Amino acid sequence: MYISDGGFLLSEERRSNAGGKRNGNGNPGGNKDGEAGATVGNDSDKTVLTKILKGIGEIKVELAEIRNMIRKENPSTVTQANFDAVRKLLPIRTVEDLDKWAEYLLDEEMKLLFGRFVKQIGGANFKDNLKRVYKNIFSNAFALQCSWLGQKNNYRISTTAVIYAVKENMFELYPQLQEKEFEIISSEWFRHARQRLEREKLVSTRLMRQHFNIL
């Protein structure tokens, strides 16, 4: 069972562990070991909650900065400054970044801005467009940790808020698009992350050698 705490999820197990150990009668404490366990559990839970509250605070600050940037512009028009606000938070490099974006997309202004960002990327056709969108949103290093359906113990990316937002906006651009086509191209893009990352490293190494004149 899960409960929501400021947009983050806390498991029932974590909540139950917060109370420390119980004696044979099911009551807290009962001996010094039990009391020590309760103290450790409470301290651990306080640390977790502190981190959660800190994360919530950081997200609120970032959203406030983005809203201020948007409101300085005409909200009915798409501007470079609007897109810069999104690019500041991309690409997604970690699961923590992905979780933050789940929170960002709960904000209607941010959701609208993200949709505009996705739609302006463009491409030669749907497949090219979708790949370019993913290239702008996810780093190859993070994509390597993911798979569409979570195969091979990878992170399941298909059910995340970011993917839902991408899908919604791509379907608005391509109303004739079939969901199966979206899934196939998306799955393929994440499956080929290793090859892209290797090419990325080769290019980076080549540029570094050129910069320092290393043969």
**How is residue 212 annotated by DSSP?**
T
The long-range contacts involving 148-154, CB below 8 angstroms and separated by at least 24 positions, are: 148/183, 148/186, 148/187, 148/190, 148/191, 149/187
Note the pLDDT of residue 18.
40
How do residues 24-58 score in pLDDT, each as one tens digit?
A: 444 444 455 555 555 556 777 778 777 776 767 77
How do residues 55-110 score in pLDDT, each as one tens digit?
A: 677 777 776 766 665 555 554 455 677 788 899 999 999 999 999 999 999 999 89
- Around Cβ 86, how many Cβ atoms within 10 Å? 18
In the predicted model, what is the mean pLDDT of the chain?
Answer: 80
Respond yes or no on whether the N-terminal peptide bond of residue 91 is cis (omega within 30° of 0): yes
Q: What is the largest CA-CA distance in the chain?
A: 74
